[in-house]
Homo-oligomer: A and B are copies of this chain.
Amino acid sequence: MTDFNSDLFKTIIPEGRGNTSEEVVSQLREMIHRGELHPGDRLPPERDLAKLLGVSRPTLRAGIRSLSAVGILQSRQGAGTFVVQSEGPPQLDSSPLRLMASLHGFTSAEMFEARQSLEMAIAGLAAERATGDQMASMAEEVTGMFASLDEPEQFLVHDMRFHQTVAAASGNRILTALMNMVATILFDARRKTVKHATDLKESAEMHRKIYRAIREHSPEAARLTMRDHLMLAQRAQEAEGIDYSDAADVAGNGDGADANPAT
């Protein structure tokens, strides 16, 4: 069913203007816009596709590279190039934001505040829309937190999943993606100092309050509770030295896992 008739990939018109590789990007982008490429689809081999588009392979590769960088495509040596298919909610790459943070010296307070604003909005929406299943998932994660008060690593997993679930319940995938962008950076930073368990009990308690507010369908309560929770989390995390700087893996080829400070 993956018959790529050469109809789909039309030869790139000369169009003298602009970079040829940008044309490739546009071409591929438009195919996505037109709905000719779906998540999970595999593109034709580079050599073939280059011929179809009428460009050289390096140029085509440059275009593919651009789309890979923004998380739309993904290449696997020996296998092929695929349209990214994220199982969960759509993901936006957080590395641009991370780079921007370094480049412009964003303060950690700014990042926390951004997350707070996003999560408050999300919590409010979730309180209006959460389904029974979603609320059950939240309850489960809260339970998981209480069950892992002595295992910070495990606790963090439940923490993240809880927020994920709330985001899903908000029904807005865009806000979810944006929130993840910011939260990922903060979680990465936290993972490094997670060993010192700081008030996990209280944190779990706050998550339960959030859950309850959502269950009661009280948007305002959910917002305020979420705000308090994140303010507390911020204070806890800032008490330790944070630095949301480097993070080797982005696309998830979790190879190294060598988070040790070799410096």
Contacts and interface: CB of A to CB of B under 8 A. Distances in A.
A33 B102 contact: yes
Interface string A73-92: 00000000001000000101
A62 B58 CA distance: 10
Interface string A8-52: 000000000110000000100110110100110000000000000
Contacts of A95: 29, 70
By size class, the interface of chain A is 35 or more
Which of A38, A121, A125 lies at the interface centre, i.e. has the most chain B CB atoms within 10 A of its CB?
Answer: A121
A84 to B, nearest CB: 8
Nearest to A178: B178
Contacts of A172: 110, 113-114, 117
B102 A92 contact: no
A72 interface: yes
B121 A99 contact: no
A245 interface: yes
Nearest to A29: B99
Contacts of A5: none
Grouping DSSP codes into helix (H, G, I), strand (E, B) and loop, the A interface class, with mixed when no group exceeds half, is helix
Contacts of A113: 125, 172, 174-175
A103 B18 CA distance: 26
A114 to B, nearest CB: 4
Nearest to A65: B65
A63 B66 CA distance: 10
A114 B178 contact: yes
A195 interface: no
Interface of A: 17-18, 26, 29-30, 32-33, 35, 38-39, 58, 61-62, 65-72, 83, 90, 92-93, 95-97, 99-104, 106, 110-111, 113-114, 117-118, 120-122, 125, 172-175, 177-178, 181-182, 245-246, 248, 253, 255
Given A29-B95, A72-B96, A101-B174, 7 more contacts: A32-B102, A39-B103, A66-B68, A71-B96, A90-B103, A104-B173, A117-B122
